[in-house]
Amino acid sequence: MPRITNVIACEVFDSRGRPTVEAVVTCEGGRPCRAIAPAGASTGTAEARELRDGGSRLGGWGVRQAVDNVRTVLAPVLIGQDADDQSAIDHLMIELDGTPDKSRLGANAILAVSLANAYAAADALGRTPIEQFRSLWDRTASTDTSPLSNSLVPGAGPSLPLPMVNMISGGKHAGGQLDFQDFLLMPIGATSYSQGLEWLITVYQALGRVLHRAGYEGTLVGDEGGYGPRLGSNRQALDLIIEAIQKAGYRPGEDLAFALDVASTHFYHDGCYRLAATGDQRLSSDEMIASLVEWVDQYPIISIEDGLAEEDWNGWQQLTSALGSRVQLIGDDLFATNPERLNGESTTASEIRFSSS
């Protein structure tokens, strides 16, 4: 039972140059283990809330208060706790915060400490982080009675996920060059993680050349690594990536397939989806769904994230009916890791949740 002996935090900068929280947790017999809270450029209104300082310092993005909350609120209670009981650690921090969106202490403070704690427990127990996470996963599977518990397979052994890599960026990741936020690829035909990653890098390099030859920017990238060209339409991004896959010697739909992060909440206004990349085109929910279905018919798309806006519940139900059996539908802004939204008091929420899983 690795007991926590020390918890500290500091303000650091993330990959976008914005301040964030780094937590360091130490257990008996272990070394200090650190983790940094990530932050997205595009977030749903129902997501857990980062705590920012406001004011003039660092444009208001500072996290000194969140850091202080780790030191003065979380640390005194966590020291002496069993770090291997991750669920208890997380629930204790949530109770200390006392808000539904973690806004009092800051989701950035809580998440950084939670992840650092998992690393510290792994170190004290002589495990690798992936072994620790697998152990936590197995414990969850053995006690989970929810309808989603069949997705947890205890004892199956750890495995690396299939990489999903950004090729072309739009939305808030690339200054609104395109409406859709991310056009990603997944190496569905690869037999190992290393092979899949090699394919993705090869296609990414080929895409840069394809963009240059077509007269578009193929060097500058968005803040999540995808190229950020100013194209004539969202569909053109798919066509250019298809060309890059073929130029690299691979087969679209057999070796590599598309994943889309539409992030449609950010262009949903006054009950319609406004696509600036195609001349301020305005689509109803039905028309937006029809467009996504057409894309799935025409391109090897296997995953769509935030295909509709976070409050378009009726639209999500229709989208799930239309595509839920054909592609992976991800309701990031829709559910926002928020149990109340995920469980949902309405029939619509439950139907979306289970038919798209």
Structural domain spans, the chain: 4-126, 165-355
355 DSSP β-pair partners: none
CA-to-CA dists, residue 350 to 262, 353, 355, angstroms: 22, 5, 8
Q: Rounded distance, CA 301 to CA 245, Å?
A: 14
Q: Mean per-residue pLDDT for 158-163?
A: 78
Q: Which helix (H) or strand (E) holds 110?
A: helix 107-124
pTM of the model: 0.81
pLDDT at 111: 96
Paired residues of 33 in beta bridges: 25
Q: Regarding predicted confidence, which is higher, 155 or 319?
A: 319
Please check the confidence at residue 346 and state whether its pLDDT lies above 50.
no
Total residues belonging to the chain: 357
Pairing mode, strands 19-27 and 4-13 = antiparallel
Confidence tier at 67 by pLDDT (50, 70, 90):
very high
Name the residue type at position 162: L
* Residues in a beta bridge with 4: 27
* pLDDT value at 149 more than 50: no
Q: Do domains 4-126 and 165-355 have the same CATH topology?
A: no
Q: Which of 51, 110, 148, 89 has its CA nearest to residue 350?
A: 148
CATH number of 4-126, picked from 3.30.390.10, 3.40.50.1820, 1.10.3720.10, 3.40.50.300: 3.30.390.10
CB-based contact 289:308 (threshold 8 Å) = yes
**CATH number of the structural domain 165-355:** 3.20.20.120
d(CA 242, CA 237): 9
